[in-house]
Amino acid sequence: MDIVTVQNLHKTFGKGESAVHALCGISLALEKGKFTAIIGASGSGKTTLLNMIGGLDTPDAGEIIVDGVRLSNLKEKELAVFRRSKVGFVYQSFNLIPTLTVRENILFPLSLAGRTHDPVFFSEIAALLHLQERLDAYPHELSGGGQQRTAIARALISRPSILLADEPTGSLDSKSGQNVLGLFKLSVEMYHQTLVMITHNLEIAQMADRVIRIEDGHICE
């Protein structure tokens, strides 16, 4: 079953001579529960595509359907609800809230949505990502790897339809990057989470079920 369908997506930034055609007719279908890696040179359109699938940006033309939701039908407020309920994001820069503890950061999306959490699932995720001893610490007290493991836990806790990660190991040294990635892969497999990850690292891409290469706004698989 396909969880994401993208049809003939176009996006241009700017106008006239300075226009950048970031996406030039991208179509793809992503199977539920699979790990897809997106690779391609800097500026090829990877982040633009990921942001559109996650409802953070809108295309000029084309359709995106995520878990049965056609994004072009949604108004701004509905898109915010879509992001909160269906998408988990993991960024290169972690994006944790510095004044909240690890536990509070992980639970933050659920509290925003007014949802209660399942304490058993929370403990399972914390243990899986080796965070159970650090739940009362603040982000700055953790290593980069620990901060990214917290961000992954935060993305998993709402059981999103799709997890989107934009170079999640990009600001970690290679050893902690490997470690974080191993745990990330384990947790998405454990919970059958669909993962789309942008990476510049070919070793990481080899761990994926499928690799999609983007060049100048086109897919060349």
Ligand X SMILES: Nc1ncnc2c1ncn2[C@@H]1O[C@H](COP(=O)(O)OP(=O)(O)OP(=O)(O)O)[C@@H](O)[C@H]1O
Least distance in angstroms from the C-beta of 95 to ligand X? 16
Least distance in angstroms from the C-beta of 103 to Mg ion? 30
> Quick one: which of 202, 208, 207 has its CA closest to 40?
202
Question: By CB under 6 A, is residue 107 in contact with ligand X?
Answer: no
Out of ligand X, Mg ion, none, what residue 182 binds, judged by CB under 5 to 8 A for its kind, is: none
The phi and psi torsions of 91 (rounded to 5 degrees) equal -110, 160
Q: How far is CA 22 from the centre of its chain?
A: 19
Q: Which residues in 2-31 contact ligand X (CB under 6 A)?
A: 13-14, 20, 22
Question: By CB under 6 A, is residue 202 in contact with ligand X?
Answer: no
Out of ligand X, Mg ion, none, what residue 53 binds, judged by CB under 5 to 8 A for its kind, is: none
Q: Are strands 35-39 and 20-31 parallel, antiparallel or unpaired?
A: unpaired
Question: By CB under 6 A, is residue 149 in contact with ligand X?
Answer: no
d(CA 103, CA 97): 11
Out of ligand X, Mg ion, none, what residue 45 binds, judged by CB under 5 to 8 A for its kind, is: ligand X
| From 30, 35, 36, 45, residue interacting with ligand X (rule: CB under 6 A) | 45
Q: What is the biggest distance separating any 2 CA atoms in the chain, rounded to whole angstroms?
A: 56
The CA-based angle 129-135-138, given to 5 degrees, is 110
Q: At what angle do helices 144-156 and 102-112 cross, to 10 degrees?
A: 30
Question: By CB under 6 A, is residue 40 in contact with ligand X?
Answer: yes
Q: Which residues in 18-77 contact Mg ion (CB under 5 A)?
A: 47
Least distance in angstroms from the C-beta of 21 to ligand X? 8
64: tokens are 């995106």
Instruction: Give the binding site for ligand X (CB under 6 A).
Output: 13-14, 20, 22, 40, 42-48
Instruction: Give the binding site for Mg ion (CB under 5 A).
Output: 47
